[in-house]
Amino acid sequence: MNILTLLIFTPVLFGLIILLLPSSMRASFKYITLLATLLQLGFSIWMYLNFKTGASYAGINHEEQFQFVQKLPWISLDLGGAGKMQIEYFVGIDGISVTLLVMTSLVLVIAAIASWEITSNLKGFFALFLLLDMAVVGVFCALDFFLFYTFYELMLLPLYFLIGMWGGARREYAAIKFFLYTLFGSVFMLLVMVGLYLSVKDPITGNHTFNMIQMMNPKNYIDGSVFSILSHQTILGMPARTVGFVVLFIAFAIKVPVVPLHTWLPDAHVEAPTPVSIILAGILLKIGGYGIIRICTGIFPDVAYSGAYWLGLLGVISILYGAFNALAQRDLKRMIAYSSVSHMGFVLLGIASQTAEGISGAVLQMVSHGFLSTMLFFLVGVIYNRVHDRDIYNFRGLGTLMPKYTVYVMVAFFASLGLPGFSAFVAEAFSLAGAFKSHNVNGLLPYWMAVCGSVGILLSAAYFLWTLQRMFFGTVSLKGGDIWKIALTDINWRETATLLPLALIALTLGVMPSLVLGKINDSVLALVQFTQNVFHY
């Protein structure tokens, strides 16, 4: 049995068990889910430890360099004159996916623990949770575009119900907004996907293929096909490859989210229950970033190269706009949601620089933000569960009331604002270094973009520290008075058990970023090499 297949489908298996068990055993569902996610974590750590590094394992555009590969024929269809359709169950990982997979598995464990707070309709919740789990893990492993798309779309429905059924007051609005936004991006992705597969032929079998790695090789494109580099086709008067890139980019940019496609995010986050917020911020946003790296720049490197300025510009706008919005929020969860927009901007900036530093920084930022946003949303969930309020101005002096909690909040805040010693610092520093370097190396990004990115770090320090001051310092003064005071007990062992590892990881990655960088380095170098070589074909 292939380890990746196990990793992907373990949760569905457990989900089926939950569906089959009678509702009278509902108390056991959360343990079953936790067991499933722990198993996944075990698998992913095993993979991480056995992951081979070195230039011959870089992956990206070399199929044989991927690890833990499984490839089975899935759908094969005779299209008459147009050849054969070849869809495969093709999973495998390289340096870029392996660290994201470990991050994903860990975040899912935390989300499973956070699901303890769910009280209604447990069977539905955990079944959907595990379905979502399968889909997000599948996205990071899939190397066949069709398989990728299937997992990508499969995330939508469980999330719709998870937000819509267990969410807050405006949950219906938030759920449908999220669903429509993402679907809007992905239906057009479907068109580009079909166009790509009709443009590409597998050199060995001669069939049209959905294999993403084959799509990266310009030699596999049929002469005169829509997306062929050499044929310079146009769609509605625009260069076809640019259209393809832009459509795919919009689909992923909605997920990231990149300003101005971010408006679903604050609503979805605010209304979603804590475990779903954790999955949204911790994993889903990374799928956007991962898609941009693997698919947008992987398949359309030429357009990514020529359009790097615009990507960088969008990244900088996201960084600044997200940060300013975060400053203006009263709702703690909304503030963190906007801080996510800001932090994910660094990912885009790093990718746009197309330097080894920038892309490493982007991947590291995704991993680091995965852990930190999980921690932040979990922390918001802690107060919200106790008093069902999270308005920043309704709390004051929490530091004396909940000292242990405050310590974790401080760790999370300082780590997020990029204090040296924590993971976000290294990640943001690398992204910015890439952006600065880009001007000299490939001339893609001007200096001012890197400067504006640095201003973003400053702003994030402002909103995090200001929030810390407003909510945690000073004398105790709560809107709910004594009732709140009693309700706001310090964190219990379950919460500690969740927060402590996250805090430790943030610190460890800050001190030893090589845990991530060591694994991704070869792939990043290969990617940079690949994007720069594309014009030589």
Task: Return the residue of 6, 17, 69, 194 that touches other proteins, per CB under 8 A.
Answer: 194
Task: Return the residue of 235, 392, 419, 451 that touches other proteins, per CB under 8 A.
Answer: 235
CA neighbor of 409 nearest in space, from 387, 368, 381:
381
* Binding segment toward other proteins, per CB under 8 A, in 96-104, 106-114, 163-171, 403-411: 163-171
**Strand ranges (DSSP E) for 148-293?**
208-209, 234-235, 238-239
Phi first, then psi, for residue 288 (nearest 5°) are -60, -50
Do 140 and 288 form a contact (C-beta atoms < 8 A)? Answer: no
Do 181 and 254 form a contact (C-beta atoms < 8 A)? Answer: yes
179 binding other proteins? (CB under 8 A): yes
Task: Return the residue of 25, 72, 180, 511 that touches other proteins, per CB under 8 A.
Answer: 180
176 binding other proteins? (CB under 8 A): yes
Rounded distance between C-alpha atoms, residue 178 and residue 168, angstroms: 15
504 binding other proteins? (CB under 8 A): no
Task: Name the burial class of residue 419, with classes exposed (0-12), middle (13-18) and buried (19+) by CB atoms within 10 angstroms of its CB.
Answer: middle
* DSSP symbol at 490: P
164 binding other proteins? (CB under 8 A): yes
What's the Cα-to-Cα distance from 153 to each of 150, 240, 243, 377, rounded to whole Å?
Answer: 5, 24, 21, 25
371 binding other proteins? (CB under 8 A): no
Is the peptide bond between 22 and the residue preceding it cis, with omega within 30 degrees of 0? Answer: no
229 binding other proteins? (CB under 8 A): no
Work out how close the CB of 86 gets to other proteins at its nearest, in angstroms, rounded to a whole number.
Answer: 11
Task: Name the burial class of residue 74, with classes exposed (0-12), middle (13-18) and buried (19+) by CB atoms within 10 angstroms of its CB.
Answer: middle
Query: Looking at beta carbons only, is 77 or 230 nearer to other proteins?
Result: 77
21 binding other proteins? (CB under 8 A): no
DSSP assignments along 209-250, one per residue = E-BHHHHH-GGGBPTT-TT-TTT--EETTEEHHHHHHHHHHH
Query: Looking at beta carbons only, is 68 or 148 nearer to other proteins?
Result: 148
Left if phi > 0, otherwise alpha if psi is -120 to 50, otherwise beta: which for 386? Answer: alpha
Query: Looking at beta carbons only, is 233 or 306 nearer to other proteins?
Result: 233
Task: Return the residue of 81, 440, 493, 536 that touches other proteins, per CB under 8 A.
Answer: 81
* Binding segment toward other proteins, per CB under 8 A, in 62-70, 155-163, 280-288, 440-448: 155-163
| Residues of span 93-152 touching other proteins by CB under 8 A | 121, 149-150
In the structure encoding, which two tokens stand for residue 256, read together?
Answer: 């990231």
Query: Looking at beta carbons only, is 54 or 237 nearer to other proteins?
Result: 237
* Binding segment toward other proteins, per CB under 8 A, in 8-16, 72-80, 104-112, 301-309: 72-80
76 binding other proteins? (CB under 8 A): yes
Work out how close the CB of 398 gets to other proteins at its nearest, in angstroms, rounded to a whole number.
Answer: 32
Task: Return the residue of 72, 77, 483, 511 that touches other proteins, per CB under 8 A.
Answer: 77
What's the Cα-to-Cα distance from 310 to each of 219, 297, 364, 488, rounded to whole Å?
Answer: 27, 14, 22, 47
Task: Return the residue of 75, 230, 238, 512 that touches other proteins, per CB under 8 A.
Answer: 75
Work out how close the CB of 85 gets to other proteins at its nearest, in angstroms, rounded to a whole number.
Answer: 7
165 binding other proteins? (CB under 8 A): yes
Give kind and range of the element (H or E) at residue 448: helix 447-472
Query: Looking at beta carbons only, is 160 or 290 nearer to other proteins?
Result: 160
184 binding other proteins? (CB under 8 A): yes
Query: Looking at beta carbons only, is 225 or 531 nearer to other proteins?
Result: 225
β-bridge pairing 67-78 and 84-93: antiparallel
Q: Which residues bind other proteins (CB under 8 A)?
A: 75-82, 85, 121, 149-150, 153-154, 156-157, 160-161, 164-165, 171-172, 175-176, 179-180, 183-184, 187-188, 190-191, 194-195, 197-199, 225-226, 233, 235-236
